[in-house]
């Protein structure tokens, strides 16, 4: 039986705001509105003991932050 071949990783170019480790922003690199949204989601999950809010609940959190969809 032969040795299995290793797959090579595909490298992608990261945006200038992305962490080289994961391709995501670090908290100190995030805009304030992103931090506000993440905090609102975390607060909702903690207060309501729901680790995975439904999309309807996420929409309510958005609205609670002031989101209002403009009609076309």
**In this structure, is residue 4 part of a structural domain?**
no
What's residue 35's pLDDT? 93
Domain holding 60, by residue range, is: 27-64
CB atoms within 10 A of CB 11: 6
Q: Tell me: the pLDDT tens digits for 15-44?
A: 555 545 566 888 889 999 999 999 999 999
Overall number of domains in the chain: 1
Listed residue (46, 39, 32) closest to 64, CA to CA: 39
What would the mean pLDDT of 44-71 be, rounded to a whole number? 94
Residue 6 domain-assigned (yes or no)? no
Answer yes or no: is 11 within a domain: no
């Amino acid at each position: 039986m032969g040795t299995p071949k290793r797959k090579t990783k595909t490298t992608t170019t990261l945006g200038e705001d992305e962490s080289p480790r994961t391709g995501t922003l670090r908290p100190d690199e995030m805009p304030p509105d992103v931090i506000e949204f993440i905090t609102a989601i975390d607060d909702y999950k903690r207060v309501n003991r729901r680790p995975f809010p439904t999309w309807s609940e996420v929409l309510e959190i958005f609205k609670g932050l002031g989101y209002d969809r403009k009609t076309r």
